[in-house]
Amino acid sequence: MSFLFGSRSSKTFKPKKNIPEGTHQYELMKHAAATLGSGNLRLAVMLPEGEDLNEWVAVNTVDFFNQINMLYGTITEFCTEESCPIMSAGPKYEYHWADGHTVKKPIKCSAPKYIDYLMTWVQDQLDDETLFPSKIGVPFPKNFLSIAKTILKRLFRVYAHIYHQHFSQVVQLGEEAHLNTSFKHFIFFVQEFSLIERREQAPLQELIDKLTAKEAR
């Protein structure tokens, strides 16, 4: 599989997922961007009055996928089969890949391979109109929130890997503030709607406590 990774460092890793203009979700995305601009992240993640929770979670999940994609894209040249032979978030946390369909039994793999599997898997779901409908009037599946929870739980692992294994490189690139703001936004969002269990957050619990303490309710 190594030929797949040869040209990765020169470009962002997956195409950006766009929400179609003219849709209600596009308006929601614009609302989210405007509220974020106010600088109050606690306020920015709250469900806008009268809006559908599934739709709000969908729009933000797409946004986090794009953000993480971009952040990981800045450090792909440092995240290699050699530097990161296992997908880890510090010495106590190692992740094995399984998607329940093509890979049923969890497999041990390098971080770049794991993240490639993960982001491809997320993208396939975001592109699936039966799971993430973008057309008005098309209902979300009944189990939508549990689908979103699994996606967000796995996207968290990419943040965890970046923080534990590549933070010094992020600092060298001058991306530290960008990473911290993105992660803080992500954490406030998943906390607001209880989308990731606390035990899943353990690899970054100290950082989470520090980032959220400053803006305690």
Q: Which residues are annotated as a binding site for Zn(2+)?
A: 79, 84, 161, 166
Q: Is 212 helix (H, G, I), strand (E, B) or coil?
A: helix
Q: How many CB atoms lie within 10 A of CB 123?
A: 15
For CA atoms 131, 132, 137, 143, give the dihedral sign.
positive
> Which residues are CB-contacts of 1 (< 8 A; sequence separation ≥ 6)?
113
Binding annotation: 79, 84, 161, 166
3-state secondary structure 6-35: CCHHHCCCCCCCCCCCCCHHHHHHHHHHHH
